[in-house]
Chains A and B, each alone.
Chain A
Amino acid sequence: MNTAETIITRATPGAGRTVIGVSRFGDRAFEWLTLLMAFSIFVLIALIGFELFRGATPAIRKFGWHFLVSGTWNPVDGVFSALPFIFGTLVTSAIALLLAVPLSIATAIFLTELAPLWLRQPLIIFIELLAAIPSVILGFWGSYVMVPWLHIHIYPLLRSTLGFLPFFQGQDSGPCILSAGVILAIMVIPIITSVSREILRSVPGLQREAAYALGATRWEVTRIAVLSYAKRGLFGAVILGLGRALGETMAVTMLIGNVPYIGLSVFKPGQTLASVIANEFTEAITRLHTSALFEVGLVLLGVTLVVNALARLLLITFAGPSVKPQN
């Protein structure tokens, strides 16, 4: 008997004989299956890029670089430019960050440094649940509850106190750039807060102790030892929030007024890259219109990818790959 047969017949009178090579097949097949599934990621990325480019090609060919800068979006005349939407996206995101960042970081500080222990977990859960609210529900609530309230109580106040600034001039009808910015702020607060919390928690205790040892007060400890150490990470959290804000569609669409606009007043209705696609795609009749919307999608994707990559870079160089941003 050669070695192979000896091994088979002698193998485990207790556990059963096994034909050689069988487990090798099972292992190989399973490994290949899982590899294929994992590599679907690359297939999906390629598909996204490919389909967007393909859809956008007619518009790219027709408008070239003017698409990004010329400023007129007129489906009727067949003239398309994404500039008003780039503007709207940037402005609403800027408003959202201006409102959300101080609130989020203060809340993160509260959660990590100041809050009594029994309060922390419930608060954290609340904030994570806030993140789970679907965009359309926030948009709906925003439309019928928040915006009328802002329109009646807040905007006139802004106009009367800050109306000398060009930002707060002009009448509003409720849905406007500022309203969209506010709802976006509500939507990005959870992610900025939770990532900031992780960042602050990862600041080594030694930093704090050293500051206390030097006689600093609690706030000084927070400001000097913790915040300045965590600067880069916190900045990364903010950029991550920006990435989320850029891609937001439904709540923005419902609150922004849906008119292409470039100008200084935040009380005017506007349009973002995402909201114009949501609004016009199913109604687009001409091939060029559809293609222009695909190109808007391409611009949106590009901007979002760059911003997200930047955020991750900041977070990794700060804290190492251990900090995991939630999506």
Chain B
Amino acid sequence: MNSVHVLPAAVAPHQTMEQKSTNAALAVRNLSVFFGTNEVLKRVSLDIASNAVTAIIGPSGCGKSTFLRSLNRMHELNPEARMTGEIRLFGDDIYASIVEPVIVRRRVGMVFQKSNPFPTMTISENVTVGLRLNGVRDKKILTERTEQSLRMAALWDEVKDRLHAPAISLSGGQQQRLCIARALAVQPEVLLMDEPASALDPLATSKIEDLILELKKNYTIVIVTHNMQQAARASDFTAFFYLGELVEFGATTKIFTSPSQKRTEDYVTGRFG
């Protein structure tokens, strides 16, 4: 019983016309997440728009990371995790009982706070690992996808001459962009980013933010950040979480200039954090 892998003859256009319309990429309805008896997320409902950047903000412990992870079923790594509610990815229920988390994660990719390129692999091996370990062997596709992903992550020019150098020889900012390339190589539809620039210096951070603005043309991006200026700069929509509840969600400009909830206003103006 082996995986059956079928690849289109050519690299398919990533988004169909249908998906580029106003369909929500991710439709979240009444999502509650429990770790044991602890209710970490309380009946959250929102729509993540496609080809846009949605920022998730809130003070520590508000559940934003858990929310992000529930979008690709990564919260299930905690054996005590339970969820109720529904999340649909372009209309598909990702928590249906027949769905393998593995498949969800190939459609919804993730980049972490601390960059983690695999230390035993080279730069190009890191980029293609998601493909190779899922059975893709065609060298031509792998090479093409490597260049494509590294270009999309704005890293190609810096590493094109040393694709076979160890991945850990890169600087911190480069490693994070490598992780982005790695995530993009499997061509997900949504890219989740958990505080992707918080461990980086300002120059590397602004490169990542520029990258995000480029990427949203082809991907849906959800980014968790504790840096409000970053949210204001880089996102189209913002969701403010507090103590596990979604307090307010709307266009970023509105959230930051005229929020309708007092708690939102207090947070974005820095009265607490």
Tell yes or no: B106 within 8 A of A by CB. yes
A13 contacts B187, C-beta separation under 8 Å: yes
A24 touches B90 (CB 8 A): no
Question: How many whole Å from A119's CB to the nearest CB in chain B?
Answer: 34
Q: B106 to A15, Cβ gap below 8 A?
A: yes
Q: Does B47 reach chain A (CB closer than 8 Å)? A: no
Q: Which of A4, A7, A13, A22 contacts B3 (CB 8 A)?
A: A22
Interface hub of B6, B11, B103 (most chain A Cβ within 10 A): B103
| A11 on the B face (CB < 8 A) | yes
* Interface residues as binary, B103-138 with A (CB distance below 8 Å gives 1, 0 otherwise): 100110000000000000000000000110011100
**Contact mask A145-181 → B, CB, 8 Å, 1/0?**
0000000000000000000000000000000000000
Rounded to whole angstroms, the CA-CA distance of A19 and B98 in the bound complex is 11
Q: CB < 8 Å: which of B98, B107, B131 contacts A11?
A: B107
The answer, yes or no, to whether A282 is at the interface (CB within 8 Å) is no
- Of the candidates A16, A23, A25, which one forms a contact with B5 in the assembled complex, judged by CB atoms under 8 Å apart? A16
Q: With A and B bound together, what is the CA distance between A307 and B96 in angstroms?
A: 55
Question: In chain B between 81 and 101, which residues have their CB closer than 8 angstroms to a CB of chain A?
Answer: 90-93, 96, 98-100
Inter-chain contacts of B185 with A (CB < 8 A): 14
A324 interface residue (CB < 8 Å to B): no
Bin chain B's interface residue count. 20 to 34
B165 CB-CB contact with A under 8 Å: no
Return the chain B residue nearest A14 by Cβ. Answer: B187
Contacts A3-B98, A11-B103, A23-B102; A17 near B92 (Cβ below 8 A): no
- For A25, what are the chain B residues with a Cβ–Cβ distance below 8 Å? 1
Flag whether A326 is at the interface (Cβ < 8 A): no
Q: When each residue 12-34 of chain A gets 1 if its CB lies under 8 Å from chain B and 0 otherwise, what string results?
A: 11111111111111000000000
Contact A15/B131 with A6-B92, A22-B1, A22-B2 known, Cβ cut-off 8 Å: yes
Q: A61 near B: Cβ within 8 Å? A: no
Residues of A within 8 A of B187 (CB): 12-15
Q: Tell whether B12 is near chain A: CB-to-CB under 8 Å.
A: yes
B residues in contact with A3, CB < 8 Å? 92-93, 96, 98-99
Residues from chain A with a CB closer than 8 A to the CB of B166 are none
With A4-B98, A11-B106 as given contacts, are A16 and B1 in contact (CB-CB < 8 Å)? no
List chain A residues, Cβ under 8 A from B135.
16
**B186 interfacial contact with A, CB 8 Å:** yes
Do A15 and B12 touch across chains, with their CB atoms under 8 A apart?
Answer: no
Contact partner, A24, options B4, B91, B100, Cβ 8 Å = B100
CB-based contact A12/B186 at 8 Å? yes
Contact B100 A21 (CB under 8 A): yes
- Per the bound structure, the CA–CA distance linking A22 and B91 in Å amounts to 23
Are A17's CB and B186's CB within 8 A? Answer: no
**A139 to B92 alpha-carbon distance, docked (Å):** 73
With A20-B99, A23-B102 as known contacts, state yes or no: A14 contacts B90, CB within 8 Å: no
Q: Tell me the bound Cα distance from A191 to B7 in angstroms.
A: 59
Rounded to whole Å, the gap between the CB of B140 and the closest CB of chain A is: 15
- Closest-by-CB residue of B relative to A6 is B92
Smallest Cβ-Cβ distance to B1: which chain A residue: A25
When distances are taken between beta carbons in the complex, the residues of chain B under 8 Å from A4 are 96, 98-99
Contacting residue for A15 out of B90, B91, B98, B136, CB 8 A: B136
Q: Does B273 contact A (CB under 8 A)?
A: no
Residues of chain A contacted by B270 (CB below 8 angstroms): none
Instruction: Decide: A15 near B100, CB < 8 A? Known: A7-B92, A23-B3.
Output: no
A14–B92 touching, CB < 8 Å? no
Shortest Cβ distance from A17 into B: residue = B6
Provide the bound-state CA to CA distance between A9 and B12, in Å: 13
Residue from A10, A16, A19, A20 in contact with B7 in the complex, judged by beta carbons closer than 8 Å: A16
B101 to chain A, nearest CB (A): 9
State the Cβ distance, B15 to closest chain A Cβ, in Å: 10
Nearest CB of A to B227, in Å: 31
Give the distance to chain A from B47, nearest Cβ to Cβ, in Å: 19
Known: A4-B98, A12-B106. A18 touches B134 (CB 8 A): yes
Smallest beta-carbon distance B194→chain A, Å: 21
Contact of B98 among A13, A20, A22, A23 (CB under 8 A): A20
Residue of B nearest to A18 (CB): B3
| Interface residues of A, Cβ cutoff 8 Å to B | 3-4, 6-7, 10-25
**Closest CB pairs A-B (n = 10):** A14-B187, A16-B5, A15-B186, A12-B106, A13-B12, A23-B102, A17-B6, A22-B3, A18-B3, A15-B106
- Sample 7 A-B pairs with CB under 8 A, ordered by A number: A4-B99, A6-B91, A7-B92, A12-B107, A15-B187, A16-B7, A16-B136
Known interface pairs A7-B103, A18-B3; 14 further A-B residue pairs with C-beta atoms within 8 A, sorted by A's residue number: A3-B96, A4-B96, A4-B99, A6-B92, A7-B92, A7-B99, A10-B92, A11-B103, A12-B106, A14-B12, A14-B185, A16-B3, A16-B5, A20-B100
